[in-house]
Every structure is written in C-alpha cells, then in structure tokens.
Amino acid sequence: MGAVAIGPLMLSTQHFAAVIGALAFIVVALLMATKVDDRFHSWASLVIVIFPLGSRIGHIIQYPTDFIQEPIRILSVWQGGFSWIGGLIATSAATLLYLRNTRLLAWSSLPIGAAAAGVGIVLLVSAQSNMNIPLPTTSFQTTDGRAIVLGAKLTRPLVLNLWATWCPPCRRELPMMAEFAHGQSSVDFIFANQGDDQSTITTFLNRQNISLDTVVVDADGQLARHYRIRGLPTTLFIGRDGTIQSVEAGELSKETLTGEVSSLR
C-alpha cells in the first residue's frame, strides 16, 4: 500500500509512477528519433533533466517561506516535493526553444503523452487498491501505559505513522513530525513503532529529545501486516469515518505533511 517493492528496493507509488512515466517517455522518444528525426534523441536527454529540475523549482516557489527558513532542504529531494506544473512549464519552454519546428513540436506530444499515460495508469491502479482496509480492532499498549484501540470510533481525523528506531528515514523525519503534531488541535497523531520493545523506544526518544504524545508499541509489527505495509516509514492519513484517504510511503517533507493534513476530513 502506497509503495512498490522491487526486490529489496521500495519505491513510493508516486516515485514508481515517475519511473514508469520516464521509461515510457524514453522508449517513445527513441523510436521517434529513429523513425521521425534524430533530434528527438538529444531532445529526450534534455527533457529528462529539465522536467525534474523544473518540478523541484516549482515546488520551492510554492513554499518560499519554508525554504527561506531552511535553505538546505532545497537539496532534500528524497523527501519528495515536486510540482508537475513546474515540470510541464519547464519542459514546454525547453521544447519550444530546442525544436523550433511546428512539425517536430507536434510529434513531441507523443512521448509526453506516453509519459502522462504511464503515470496515470500507475496512480489509478494504486488508488483503487487497499484503500478500504478498516482500522484494526486490536488493543495496543502505548509507551506511557495506556491501552488504545484504533478501531474505536474516531472523533477527529487521524495521522498514523509507522516507524522504527533502526530506520534512517524514520529517524530523519520524526523530529519534524513531532513538532508538527504538537501544533495540531484538530487532527490526532499516533506514532506506531514497528519491531522495537518499549525500552528501546523510550531510550531512543529520550536521547534524541523527541516528545510524542501517543507512541504505540507494536513489537510484532501487527499494524504493518494489517495495512500490508512494505517498508518504513509509512504514514496513513485517515478520515474521522475511519477510511484511509491517502498513504505516503517513505520520508515526508513538511510541505507534503501539511498538504495531506489540511485535506483530511
């Protein structure tokens, strides 16, 4: 759910869709370089660079204050944070400047359309799978000694983060998520540790000076199996009716977290 496993490699659905889109684009563009005009070979190489660069710049422009405060995060592309509109604008401009020919410009729509179709198919299939898994009715213990049942009726939307102390991207995103969660009054956050015992979790959080209101101890990884999670961290955004509204696999950026929480109902 929210990810695709290729051997030991885990890709989020969005990243996998981008890979499929890029492969579709390259295949069609190379065919056109052979059958239509050899300039499509160099044009394809240009677009493969320009699109992600424009996408990243477009995302940064959307959230200028965040990146002015933390400019080093401009390089944190592993967190996600890309704007397809920015990528499309950059690609269109580069295509117009490079091809400069009505006939070639018309042909260029084929590989771009193939890429869009590849991305759309992956996202459509993903959206239709595993999103109806209900909240589990199992009781879990928290690090402060409470017993909670996630399947009990929710009064507010829920962000459920599955993480582990041995997971590097979990360790990187946890301080940001902890700070964000403390600023929320209309959404509940539960941080469900997978695979560690209570002592390990508490020691880690104390050493890192991370404060979390609700930390579930799930040493057996029941939640990961229940939601068919293929890797950590994974964050589920659940509406107050208990239905999953979206799933984000991998390390989250603050902008992605903000956007997902604001859309919860």
pLDDT tens per residue across span 86-102: 999 999 999 999 999 99
CA distance 1 to 234: 9
Say what the pLDDT of residue 3 is.
Answer: 65
The 10s digit of each residue's pLDDT in 31-89 is 999 999 999 999 999 999 999 999 999 999 999 998 998 899 899 888 888 999 999 99
Does 1 have pLDDT greater than 60? no
pLDDT: which is higher, 26 or 5 = 26
* pTM of full prediction above 0.85: no
Strands 3-6 and 188-194: unpaired
- Residue 16 and residue 9 in contact, taking contact as beta carbons nearer than 8 Å: no
pLDDT digits 0-9 by tens, 151-202:
887 899 999 999 999 999 999 999 999 999 998 989 999 999 999 999 999 9
Q: Is the distance from CB of 139 to CB of 129 less than 8 angstroms?
A: no
- List of residues 6+ apart from 60 with CB closer than 8 A: 67, 74, 81
Distance CA 227, CA 235 (A): 11
What is the set of domains in the chain, with CATH numbers?
Answer: 3-128 (no CATH), 139-263 (3.40.30.10)
Contacts of 143 (CB under 8 A, 6+ apart): 198, 201, 202, 205, 215, 217
Structure tokens at 244: 């999953």
Query: 232-257 pLDDT, tens per residue?
Result: 999 999 999 999 999 888 899 999 99
Residue 238: its pLDDT value, please? 95
Asked whether the beta carbons of 1 and 247 are under 8 A apart, the reply is yes
Which tokens in the block code for residue 67?
């990146």
> What letter represents residue 162's amino acid?
L
258: tokens are 């903000």
Q: How far is CA 112 from CA 23, 44, 107, in A?
A: 11, 10, 10
Structural tokens at position 79 = 């967190």
Distance of CA 219 to the CA centre of its chain: 25
* Tally of helices (H runs) and strands (E runs) in the chain: 9, 9
Mind listing the pLDDT tens digit for each residue in 197-217?
A: 999 999 999 999 999 999 999
Give residue 235's pLDDT: 95
